[in-house]
Chain A
């Protein structure tokens, strides 16, 4: 049994390169899927608000599917299942261009969009009805009333839930390891296999994840404080 040697892992050029690349991939996936999830989540909310039964029913089914099926299963369905239905030329192109990372971003983003849209919807429900009526009475169009009056207030209400789910998305990016994306957890398994320093490599990964999650929570708390109205509880 070797002694504790954090430096033996960190100073090894090969291992540190793999770990740094892993951190980079984790961040690319987190940011990519967050942007996808946020924009799609807002779109879903807008569709749900339409005065059409079919439109809101479609969004309800979308949300219900993505919330009741495990994220890992959604990832596998995209990577193993849906990719096999694509034309051969697309499959080959994706194989050459980190297809697994593309599918991971799509799967994580689509899944998280359901959560984000639900958070915003309950945020919107918290805005008093009078706000909507007043905005319309003042001559704002449907779209303007939504973007300038209602959504900013809804986002403020939804802030704690959005922050919470953002941290979850960051942690869930580790699931992409199951379909072979070379993100941090994947890199840790590789380094561990080669260096046999299990304790040290796991410790490094744990600290990276923990520090980033805590930073996200702190940032979210800071934003919540700033977006809070003066005098509001």
Chain B
């Protein structure tokens, strides 16, 4: 058994396929497609999630209810089943067939928006209520206070959570394999089908590839998180220098 040499050989023969798929001669695939899919997915889901978070915090039941229902459905149904739904419904809605990549992107945007909206909502609710009160007292409208006072702080505090959602998205793009989206897992499947006799080596290479990408990102996120936490502990020094009132004690 010589696992390592044969794994090195597989990587040497197929590194281009693992990186970009069959790109110049076919659709973009491999790690490149995985990353593009996740970046687009999070980038498009983010604005949607802020709108959903604001709706779920709104005083109007008509806005709150549909969003909460949507969030519960996304939390309660497997992503795989949602992919199958979109795969089936999207062509019916548009009237012509949709490429697998677009199907996966639409699914990810909807799915991630629901999870991100919960993160954003928690971030808004974690801020002291005094922030809203102060902004309102200074003459901001509710929406103005949200836009200029609450959201900038909440979103800044939420950066680590949003980034770890990005790592989850990278892992979720693997499900595209089921509907034949040409991404990293799909590329490994192609290699495995060609070699036939080395499944362990191929799938171990696949696992290591994902590990390298996600682990590096996780370390980077931890660094960002420490920076933000350091900024936050440095902040309240000025506040704690102020005379403590009963209100601020109960607020903490």
Chain A residues close to B by CB (< 8 Å): 64-65, 67-74, 76-77, 80-82, 84-85, 167, 171-175, 177-178, 185, 188-189, 198-199, 202, 205-206, 209-210, 213-214, 217
Contacts and interface: CB of A to CB of B under 8 A. Distances in A.
Contacts of A76: 185, 203, 206
Given A68-B210, A217-B75, 12 more contacts: A64-B215, A70-B185, A72-B174, A73-B206, A77-B206, A171-B77, A171-B78, A175-B78, A178-B177, A202-B85, A210-B73, A213-B77
Contacts of A199: 88
Contacts of B178: 177-178
Interface of B: 72-73, 75-81, 84-85, 88, 167, 170-172, 174-175, 177-178, 185, 192, 199-204, 206-207, 210-211, 214-215, 218
A173 to B, nearest CB: 8
A65 B192 CA distance: 22
A82 B78 CA distance: 26
Contact of A71 (B171, B177, B211): B171
Given A70-B210, A72-B175, A81-B199, A210 B215 contact: no
B110 to A, nearest CB: 14
A174 B210 contact: no
Contacts of A68: 167, 210-211, 214-215, 218
A174 B185 contact: no
B97 to A, nearest CB: 15
B199 A214 contact: no
B213 to A, nearest CB: 8
18 contacts: A67-B218, A68-B214, A69-B171, A76-B203, A77-B204, A80-B200, A81-B202, A81-B203, A185-B80, A185-B81, A188-B81, A188-B84, A202-B84, A205-B81, A206-B77, A209-B78, A210-B76, A210-B77
